[in-house]
Amino acid sequence: MFGSLLPVTRAILLANIAVFLLQQITGVLLLELFALWPVGDELFQPWQLITYGFLHQGVLHIFFNMFALYMFGSDVERLFGSRFFAAYYFVSVLAAAICHLVVTTWMGAEPAPTLGASGGIYGVLLAYGMYFPNRRVMLLIPPIPMSARTLVVVYAVLELVFGVTGTDAGVAHFAHLGGMLGGYLMIRYRRGFRS
């Protein structure tokens, strides 16, 4: 199963699984140290802008994030090359964190830790939709086939609507959009670099 994955995709997936298992042993300790806390909180540390992306809240949270990475990561890594893909993924995670912190501070949201690889995953989804727009993908819930481009647009619109309306509280919708923004900026950088 993991043998078919390219090296960076495999490393990110395995690191997330390992950290999730470690979370089960350590309880809240990893959350206090490595989740993304609001900037004004006494628990905030700069490294959390990246480390939060390896923590997950529950089996379904990590399953869906790692399933998406498994499905789309290697194709994007093959296209970008491993070194650029690694940078791309972590810029998406970082942009997701910054976007989330800025928007939640501006909205005056209740201070709470943020965790999950979704920012990086949404960056990967964006790249997949941009470079493989006509590939058919199947949603898990509900099982609806659509093009990769349509999937990305639907997810982006839903995240924006949910974020603005406050629907599905407890989900960092603007982090997801920030991951897409970080990915888009990296794609623009890559295209400019190759011109």
* Segments making up each domain of the chain, as ranges: 2-194
At 2 the pLDDT is 61
At 37 the pLDDT is 94
* Distance in Å from the first CA to the final CA of the chain: 37
Q: For residues 108 and 130, what is the distance between their CA atoms, to the nearest angstrom? A: 34
Residue 192 above 90 pLDDT? no
At 195 the pLDDT is 44
3-state secondary structure of 125: helix
Residue 1 above 60 pLDDT? no
3-state secondary structure of 79: helix
What mean pLDDT comes out for the span 163-169? 78
Q: Are 133 and 141 in contact (CB under 8 A)?
A: no
3-state secondary structure of 129: helix
At 11 the pLDDT is 98
pTM (two decimals): 0.92
Instruction: Provide DSSP, 18-38.
Output: HHHHHHHHHTTHHHHHHSB--
Residue 193 above 80 pLDDT? no
Confidence grade of residue 116 (pLDDT, cut at 50, 70, 90): very high
CATH number among 1.20.1540.10, 3.40.50.300, 1.10.1240.10, 3.30.70.990, domain 2-194: 1.20.1540.10
In which residue are the tokens 């990915």 written? Answer: 183
What mean pLDDT comes out for the span 177-185? 97
